[in-house]
Structure 1
Amino acid sequence: MSKATPGTTTDGNSTTFHLPVAEEQVEGLPPGFGGGIAGKAAFLIAVAFSVFQIYIAAYGSLPSQVVRAMHVGFLLLLGFGLIANLRATGVAVKAAFWTLGALGFGTGLYNWVFYADLIRRSGFLTTPDLIVGTLLVVLVFEAARRLMGLPLAVIAFIFLAYCFVGNHLPPPFIHRGYDFAQLVDTFAFGTEGIYGTPVYVSAAYIFIFVVFAAFLERAGMIALFNDFALGLVGSWRGGPAQVCVLSSALMGTISGSGVANVVASGQFTIPLMKRFGFRSAFAGAVEATSSMGGQIMPPVMGAVAFIMAETLNVPYAEVVKAAIIPALLYFGACFWQVHLEAGKAGLHGMAKAELPNPWDAVRQHWPLVLPLAVLVYLLFAGYTPIFAGTMGLALTIVLILGTPLAALIGPFAFRVVFWLALGLAAASFMRFGVNILGLVIAALIVACVTFKG
């Protein structure tokens, strides 16, 4: 019997290789929030942000302007808070960043509390309006500089400066000029500035799909994608790189984020490619290229796809349909280039005896495909992305909570009855609305706490 190594399992005389799943902290906070009280505060803010967005997606009870303002407010609070926790040194500097975050959140609350007054006096700002609006613009610039880098902030500042000095420029760059109050009103209180289409798309669509992908990943979707890709194409010429391409394509169906794709799979596929003979630069390039393709891989695509649908005023499902062929061609080209590079370098695939059975992975994790299937059905049935994403997220939560309860049920027939009853209860949202899913999830939470602790 061979000794198991990280990422392998042994059974008798055979060794099966598995791509590992990212480890997370079991005790304490999830990684990425910092430690101590400040880390707990950032984590609770992130939870509150998620709850707010999910509630708005499910019930939509606030005006769009307020939702956009609170979305930006939460982002500023969490962004500056994480800068304080993870980058800043010294108590005073950390406190300063948290103060900036609190001020940013305050601008969102200001839009919420005084929403009706701002509508009534639209175009005629008071002194507090000017102060809050100016503060918002400054904080957004500073957050962009800190989080996205100086070039983005400089480019945005050039366009902002053009608004002030454009009336002094020669044709064709001259314009009639704008006073300070007009600019503040447009940038900080209208829907053509900071709270424009990109923020609307982020608040209405992107956030809910990011949470949907995070829950699916937490439920074990990464393990399904990795093992399926490893078993299906691992034995091909250049197998590890082919696994990278296929797993990135599969991850792209739920994440739509190239960065998230790299983080989820790259830390494992890149060392795997290097181990089997690929050059370091080529391994990194394969991961980056295939992960970026996740942004055009339906059904959950990158932010630009949602902005495109909103700008062109077409259903998101139409954008999804238009992206299917380009996405397949993109990943087909990646497969072909990997095949050619592997042939050039004389690299072979992995031994089939070391690879997991891809269909075993599907049999073990097939329920995780159901929320994705429901999402696709709702999108192509004409429902809005908000509704489809919210329902997909709710069904994922039902699966996560229902799985440990089903494990407590002894006879297989009873487990089947449990899942059928749970499925019928969850599916009744099509007739009775989102409240029924909320009741199902609440009942599952109570049952999990009661029986699992």
Structure 2
Amino acid sequence: MADISWLFRAQGAKRSLSGVWALAFNLTAMGFSLFYLYTSGFGLVSTQSNRGVYLMLTSVLVFLIYPAHRNSPTDRPSILDLGLIALTVASIGYWIDQYVSYAIFRVSSPNQADLVMGAIAIVLMLETSRRVLGPIVSVLAILFLSQLYFGQYLPGKLAHPGMSVERIIEFIFSSQEALFGVVTATFATFVFPFMIFGAFLERSGAGAFFMDLGTAIAGKWRGGPAKVAVLTSALFGSISGSSVANVVTTGSFTIPLMKRTGFKPHHAGAIEAIASTGGQFMPPVMGAGVFILATLTETSYLYIALINIIPAFLFFLFLLTMVDLEAVGLGLKGLPEKEIPSVRKVLAGGWHFFLPLVVVIGLLLWGYSAEFAAFWGTVSAAVLSWRHRATAMKPRDFAQALIGGAASNNSAGAAIGTLGVIIGGIVLAGLGLKFSAVLIDFSGGNLFLALVLVTLVSIIIGMGSSTTGSYIILAVVAAPALIQLGVPVVAAHLAVFYAAALSNITPPVCVSAFAGAAIAGAPPMKTGFAALKFGATLVLMPFTFVYVPEILMQGTWTEVIYASILYGLGSVAFAIFLQGSAPVGGRVPPIARALFGMSAGLLLFPSVWVIDLAGIVVGLAAIMAMSMLRADRPRGNAS
């Protein structure tokens, strides 16, 4: 008889369920994933069911697995949790059932039930995000709701007459503009099916294959474990698209390995954190925010993925260079030969794990929708797992992949309802255009200063939030300002998206770095600052998209290649400047280091050929100065 004991266990971040409560969680999670697997493949549900069921079941799972506070039971839901679950089903179920009637008969005249259920649903969404992400996003939502009511007290251009409580609740709850708006639609339609795809791909053995492949490729190089972390996070990022998920998944393997081979704990956590952050913009799947980006810019997801190939490559080039130079400074070597698998054997045993990605890309190129591609990618992952008996997905694996897909949605999906509330507050008050006007006025119409302000705002908004949450807010309040200053729409949104990713590694609140620090046993703040250093080009990327559009394949192939090569050279020079070490020659004398910094400053924004040539000449002068001043010889083996 098959072992079904696993159905009666459910492990969350703060609560471990067993018995009937674990069974309830697992069955709900399986039903959740199956519903959206069905909709992605066949799409035969109403709009209100598609959006409403997503928010409803996300909150139900959160209330089951996340306790309300530290004194709540950790092995079962409390009476409060069960009450909130009942209210969630009632309020959102009411919206699903009544939306058509409201849209036909009650627009601008909601009845008492609409208002009561709306108020309940709004509070439930705030509580859902608070439990998973902490209070910051929920507090932001309360502030945006408050400014709707107290609009007459706002300063300057942000002021408005103020609105009634009834009008606020109706717009946030009853319409499809806020709580059940584009953010919820995008997650329900596109993002969640890809989370299910990632869970199936992981369960089929692809996660272990990508780790083995990274070890086989980079394990013998100096600082090999850190390079393995970078490569596996890049590869795994093409599946999950979540920085924190990358950290806890690949970091549990790579961080201890980095520490064992000589990396300092805070550096090990930082490298994994920044590599996992990069996974969010690693094609083909990328992060959840990219689906929102494609929707808001009315651009195909495939196009967004294609133009991100060069930025992602350049980002990881810089990161690998930083890691290599860190290994030079520490005199590290690669992994022992016996711990490194053969590339040929790894590929022979797991080449088929690339095929589901090929299926996804192929269907997108063929013109099918992203969710349809995710559906067939999931099917192909399950089928191809049977290439080897050891990885063949059996009914238990299928069920656990469904549960894993729903569970992985909790961290991102918990914020979606609250983000809808925030978006509703911005849209109803017209704050998007108003904030853009304020931003333009404050910057004096100077594009560079506006980009600096957008970056600073993104760091502040991103504290305690995800990249997706930060981007959604910034896309409404900051991207329009860049567009008004002449930045193309897609470039403006990508600049904001990459700026939003900074929140993962920027102290004082940097969730990816904190996750890496926890695994490494390192000080969180120290890890955050180290991650910011290793990912320094992430700070520059928003400016690059605006001033060097060739990086986004905007221009002739000659211009694109020219800009990419110079940016790559500038990245290497920048890494040498920051680390004070060179791949060949060891420690860099201060004069040569300063010259490398000057060269990076000239090359990272290729434009006028005279300046570009000057950057190359200064770089060559730095190499000559380093040779003439006889820098220390490297202690590690060449990679």
Give per-residue Cα distances to partners, 1:259-297, cap 9 Å, x unaligned: 111121101110000000110000000000101111000
3-state SS in 2 of match to 1:241: helix
1: CA distance, partners of 2:7 / 2:99 = 42
Quote the offset at 1:402 in angstroms.
Answer: 7.0
Residues 329 and 125 from structure 1, CA distance in 2 versus in 1: closer, same or farther, beyond 3 angstroms?
Answer: same
- Written as runs of structure 1 = structure 2, the 5 A alignment for 1:50-65 is 50-65=33-48
Match of 2:81 in 1: 97
Residues 170 and 369 from structure 1, CA distance in 2 versus in 1: closer, same or farther, beyond 3 angstroms?
Answer: closer
1:342 and 2:327 are equivalent in the alignment: yes
Match of 2:309 in 1: 324
Quote the offset at 1:376 in angstroms.
Answer: 1.1
- TM-score by length of structure 2 reads 0.57
Match of 1:268 in 2: 253
3-state SS in 2 of match to 1:254: helix
Q: Residues 77 and 101 of structure 1 are in contact (CA less than 8 Å); yes or no, is this contact kept in structure 2?
A: yes
Quote the offset at 1:197 in angstroms.
Answer: 1.8
2: CA distance, partners of 1:406 / 1:312 = 40
- Written as runs of structure 1 = structure 2, the 5 A alignment for 1:384-395 is 384-395=369-380
Give per-residue Cα distances to partners, 1:234-282, cap 9 Å, x unaligned: 0111111111111111101111111111121101110000000110000
Task: Return the letter of the residue paired with 2:206.
Answer: M
Match of 1:107 in 2: 91
Quote the offset at 1:111 in angstroms.
Answer: 2.0
Gaps of 5+ in 1: 1-24, 408-453
Match of 1:250 in 2: 235
1:117 and 2:97 are equivalent in the alignment: no
3-state SS in 1 of match to 2:64: helix
1:184 to 169, 173, 176: 169
Quote the offset at 1:84 in angstroms.
Answer: 4.2
Q: Residues 296 and 323 of structure 1 are in contact (CA less than 8 Å); yes or no, is this contact kept in structure 2?
A: yes
2: CA distance, partners of 1:43 / 1:37 = 10
Give per-residue Cα distances to partners, 1:186-242, cap 9 Å, x unaligned: 111222211122211110111000010011100100111111111111011111111
Residues 90 and 251 from structure 1, CA distance in 2 versus in 1: closer, same or farther, beyond 3 angstroms?
Answer: closer
1: CA distance, partners of 2:301 / 2:324 = 34
3-state SS in 2 of match to 1:34: strand
Moved more, 234-243 or 57-66: 57-66
Task: Return the letter of the residue paired with 2:83.
Answer: T
Moved more, 33-42 or 85-94: 85-94
2: CA distance, partners of 1:212 / 1:170 = 47
Give per-residue Cα distances to partners, 1:96-153, cap 9 Å, x unaligned: 1122022112222112222321221222211111111110001111122222111221
3-state SS in 2 of match to 1:114: helix
Match of 1:151 in 2: 136
1:357 and 2:352 are equivalent in the alignment: no
Give the number of aligned pairs: 383
Give per-residue Cα distances to partners, 1:131-190, cap 9 Å, x unaligned: 111100011111222221112211111111000010344532321322222211111122
Match of 2:267 in 1: 282
Q: Residues 9 and 19 of structure 2 are in contact (CA less than 8 Å); yes or no, is this contact kept in structure 1?
A: no
Match of 1:230 in 2: 215
2: CA distance, partners of 1:178 / 1:85 = 32
1: CA distance, partners of 2:20 / 2:214 = 41
2: CA distance, partners of 1:122 / 1:298 = 42
Q: Residues 225 and 251 of structure 1 are in contact (CA less than 8 Å); yes or no, is this contact kept in structure 2?
A: yes
Quote the offset at 1:401 in angstroms.
Answer: 5.6
1: CA distance, partners of 2:242 / 2:197 = 13
Task: Return the letter of the residue paired with 2:43.
Answer: G
2: CA distance, partners of 1:42 / 1:327 = 37
Give per-residue Cα distances to partners, 1:61-113, cap 9 Å, x unaligned: 22223311111111111111112499622899712112202211222211222
Quote the offset at 1:27 in angstroms.
Answer: 7.8
Residues 30 and 76 from structure 1, CA distance in 2 versus in 1: closer, same or farther, beyond 3 angstroms?
Answer: closer
Task: Return the letter of the residue paired with 1:52.
Answer: F
2: CA distance, partners of 1:170 / 1:405 = 65
- TM-score by length of structure 1 reads 0.80
Q: Percent identity?
A: 36
1:38 to 9, 16, 21: 21
Higher relative contact order (CA 8 A, sep 6+): 2
Moved more, 54-63 or 322-331: 54-63
1: CA distance, partners of 2:387 / 2:96 = 37
Moved more, 99-108 or 82-91: 82-91
Moved more, 80-89 or 328-337: 80-89
Q: Residues 53 and 208 of structure 1 are in contact (CA less than 8 Å); yes or no, is this contact kept in structure 2?
A: yes
1: CA distance, partners of 2:212 / 2:296 = 38
3-state SS in 2 of match to 1:172: helix
Q: Residues 17 and 74 of structure 2 are in contact (CA less than 8 Å); yes or no, is this contact kept in structure 1?
A: no
2:197 to 200, 208, 212: 212
Q: Residues 252 and 295 of structure 1 are in contact (CA less than 8 Å); yes or no, is this contact kept in structure 2?
A: yes
Give per-residue Cα distances to partners, 1:360-417, cap 9 Å, x unaligned: 111112222211111111122222101111111111222346755999xxxxxxxxxx
2: CA distance, partners of 1:402 / 1:248 = 25
2: CA distance, partners of 1:380 / 1:136 = 39
1: CA distance, partners of 2:325 / 2:126 = 45
Residues 406 and 43 from structure 1, CA distance in 2 versus in 1: closer, same or farther, beyond 3 angstroms?
Answer: closer
- Written as runs of structure 1 = structure 2, the 5 A alignment for 1:397-436 is 397-400=382-385, 404=389
Quote the offset at 1:49 in angstroms.
Answer: 0.8
